[in-house]
Each structure stands twice: as structure tokens, then as C-alpha cells.
Amino acid sequence: MALRTRLTELLGIEHPVVLGGMGRGATVPPMVAAVSEAGGIGVLGVTRYPADRVAEQTAAVRAATSRPFGLNLLLFASDDAAIEAVLAERPPVFSTAWPWPEQDLRAIFERAHAIGAKVMHMVAAVDEAKRAAEAGADLIVAQGTEGGGHVGTVGGMVLVPMVARTVAPVPVVAAGGIATGAQLAAALMLGAEGVLLGTRFLATAESAWPPSYKRAILESDGHDTELTEIPDIASGAVWPGAFDRARRNLLISEWAGRENELRRRRAEVAASIARAAREDDAERGELNFGQSAGLIDGLGSCADVVRGLVTDAEEVLRKADRFLG
């Protein structure tokens, strides 16, 4: 048995599993290449990278795999030059998310199509999905609020089927809170054509996250994250309607309810967050992971994750007919 979906057919991959293009160095070329080599598709986050770094990182991916991969941009933080720098690398997949309402998605997607890329756009709400489909997206990722990092407020169990119904026949990929093969099987039953994972891939050998950050995922029961704006206030970032799901550590607890003071001291706190990453301090760092941490109990390789997801999903689907009596 093999999981063949419109996602695997469209992208020419073996397994309907996507590494989300997480930013701020959370995705690195070894992760991206490993996921693609395992038969899924890796996506590298390159938002705010200068053009020479985009080229360097893309070359590193291509040196490690000949299989399809993607480059991801947060559109609200990307000007025309940033988009051009990514498209100049001719990625097989141009992955995007979080545009401002006034940005012209159709024009951006047409530029990607002109260089032969497939467009995969992430949304957190049904109206965003409709906008992306009308603009010509080839794939739409419906991300539930369970996910780590920047998310909306609707759970994936509801969002995925609503988006799939709204944008049909555009294929949908489920994201947010997914870490197991059973969830991959469930996503397919909800109308998705595959899954996109972030947190699960952060807890892998190829992940560049510091060791204590990875341990925090393994130790999490899935209940120790919350939606917050504290990391974004510290970095001076303004997102178009997103909340940041992060682990409730000393950074979050110390500044909760003191956001106005944090705005005045954001340079100091931003420096502390950067220092925490360098010093492997999970209590003072920004730990953007999702509720799926409660389902993760080991550090495998990216290939282990991809193949384990697919094997377990296939087993679940084989047994599903027992519910038919």
C-alpha cells in the first residue's frame, strides 16, 4: 500500500509529507534535503535573507538532494526584491504565507508560475483560502491554531474540511498540531491531500535548534504553550493578524501583562532572546513549538519521521474498515 494523493502527483514526490518553511533559522539545508531525500518535500524559510544568502542556502540544498524542495517567504515582510531573489533560484515550490490585505497575490503567484514553480500558500482562515485560490495558488495549506509559531485562532479539525470545501478542486494540505501517522490518515479523511509539519521536524537530528530547546519539546505534555505577542513585541515585528504559539517559559511568564513596558525595553529583551539561543537557554529563549509536542517522545532523523508517518498512516487506513461492521 502506498499513499498517493494529488499532493504527491502535483509535486512529483513519494510521500504526502511537507516540512514547513519555518523562519529565523529554524529550517536549514540539511533538514530540507533530508525530508526531500526521504520522499517528502522540504521547504526552507528564507524571509529577511539577503539575496546572496538565499543563493547560498539554495545551493546547499541542491548539493544535498536532486529532489523537489521549496523556498518560503512571509509576504508581509517581503518586498519585490525579496521575491525576485527567491524566484531567481527557480525553486520547484514557491511557498508563501501571511500577506497584507493590499498585496496582490495574483501578480506574485503569476511571477512564480512564470519560472515554473508551483505555488503553495498557507492560510489560517477560510476567507484567506478563498483569496489564495482565486489568485491561482496550486496548493493551499490550512494551518490550525494548534501549530507552533504564528497561527490563527481556528482548530485544524474544523479549518481543514472548511478550506477543502471552499477551494475545491485546489488541493489542500493540513497543518498545525500534527506529529503522527494517525493524524496524517485523519487529515486525508478530512479532505486534505497531505500534511505539513514544523514542531515534529524541530525534534530531529538535522534540526539546528539548541539541545535544550529540543529537550523542551520532548518534555512537553502539549499543554505548556500559549498564544502570545511577547516575542513579536520584543523583535519589533507586526504580523497581519497572527498570534505566536510559544512555550510558556521564563521569557513569556516574566513579560505577560507587562507588554507596554516590554515595548520600551524591546531591544534589551531581543538581545536576551538571541543570547539564550547562543547559550542554549530554553527558559529565556523563544520556543516556537506547537501542541503536537505532547505526541513527540524521541529525537529521530528527518527520514525516520517521514517514513514513520507514512507507515503508521497506512496501517491506520488498512484497519479503518473495521468501523464498517
pLDDT digits (tens, 9 = 90+) for 131-154: 999 999 999 999 999 999 999 999
Residue 321 has a pLDDT of 76
Q: Which residues contact 321 (CB under 8 A, 6 or more apart)?
A: none
> Across the strands, what pairs with 45?
72
DSSP letter at 117 equals P
Q: Map grid coordinates 520600551 to a residue.
A: 264
Residues 224 and 212: their CA atoms lie apart, in Å, by: 16
Quote the percentage of the chain above a pLDDT of 90.
Answer: 97
Q: Map grid coordinates 490550512 to a residue.
A: 142
> Across the strands, what pairs with 19?
42, 197
Residue 255 predicted with pLDDT over 80:
yes
Residues 41 and 321: their CA atoms lie apart, in Å, by: 30
Residue 107 predicted with pLDDT over 70:
yes
- Sign, CA torsion 72/63/91/146: negative
Residue 159's nearest CA partner among 182, 136, 142, 181 is 142
Residues 19 and 43: their CA atoms lie apart, in Å, by: 6
Residue 324 predicted with pLDDT over 90:
no
DSSP letter at 131 equals H
pLDDT band at 323 (very low <50, low <70, confident <90, very high): confident
Residue 193 predicted with pLDDT over 60:
yes
Residues 120 and 137: their CA atoms lie apart, in Å, by: 6
Q: Map grid coordinates 514513520 to a residue.
A: 308
3-class DSSP assignment, residue 197: strand
Residue 1 predicted with pLDDT over 60:
no
pLDDT band at 322 (very low <50, low <70, confident <90, very high): confident
Where are the alpha helices (H) located in the chain, listed in sequence order?
A: 6-11, 29-37, 51-64, 80-87, 105-114, 126-135, 156-167, 181-189, 199-202, 211-219, 230-235, 250-255, 259-264, 266-278, 302-319
pLDDT band at 2 (very low <50, low <70, confident <90, very high): confident
Residue 21's nearest CA partner among 37, 40, 50, 44 is 44
Strands 243-247 and 225-228 turn out to be: antiparallel
Mean pLDDT of all residues in the chain? 97
Residue 205 has a pLDDT of 97
H-helix or E-strand spanning residue 23: none
Residue 325 has a pLDDT of 62
Task: Express each pLDDT in 292-308 by its tens digit.
Answer: 999 999 999 999 999 99
Task: Express each pLDDT in 214-251 by its tens digit.
Answer: 999 999 999 999 999 999 999 999 999 999 999 999 99
Is the backbone peptide bond immediately before 101 cis, with ω within 30 degrees of 0? Answer: no
> Across the strands, what pairs with 244?
150, 228
